[in-house]
Amino acid sequence: MVLFADRTARQGAHETHTHPATVRRLTRGFRQQGMLGLLPDEVEVVVWGRAKRISDAVRQEIDRLKALYDGFHYRELARILFIKCGEPIDHKTVKTIWHESPVSMQGRLDLLDYHGLPYPCRSLPGAAAGH
């Protein structure tokens, strides 16, 4: 009945078997608030806000951690991020951000074999004598 603007409140009331004042009130509520205007006044409407925006500090820390090591568990990352950035974050959110991050893990660093290096004490004078 709200969709048909060419009908009067009396015609809408006759078609829906309600009082014309009720039809006027619902029509006015629909025009002002949309679908929420059709709800009775005693119904509490809780409007959920948008999802919390993730700070740049958290995103940068995830990028840094991802570059260091690719084997973190998401709950582990959430704990690290909470301690490091001070912002509580869910492990499912961490998973989403982790997969969105374009950063790839750094390659393995070539480490020297310490067995092939000369022993530092042997190169000191008098080390062979046991002084």
pLDDT tens for 66-97 read 998 888 999 999 999 999 999 999 999 999 99
Is 92 found in the same domain as 62?
A: yes
pTM of the model: 0.46
Within-domain flag for 123: no
What is the SS3 assignment for 32-80?
HHHHHHHCCCCCCCCCCCCCCCCCHHHHHHHHHHHHHCCCCCHHHHHHH
Within-domain flag for 85: yes
CA 53 to chain centre: 6
Within-domain flag for 131: no
Domain that holds residue 19: 1-43
pLDDT attached to residue 75: 96
Is 27 found in the same domain as 62?
A: no
Higher pLDDT, 49 or 15: 15
Amino acid at 103: V
Is 31 found in the same domain as 64?
A: no
Within-domain flag for 113: no
Structure-token match 């950035």, residue found: 85
Within-domain flag for 125: no
Higher pLDDT, 51 or 41: 41
Is 39 found in the same domain as 62?
A: no
Is 66 found in the same domain as 39?
A: no
pLDDT attached to residue 91: 95
Q: How many domains does the chain have?
A: 2
For residues 77 and 89, is the Cβ–Cβ distance under 8 A?
no
Is residue 23 exposed (0-12), middle (13-18) or buried (19+ Cβ within 10 Å)?
buried
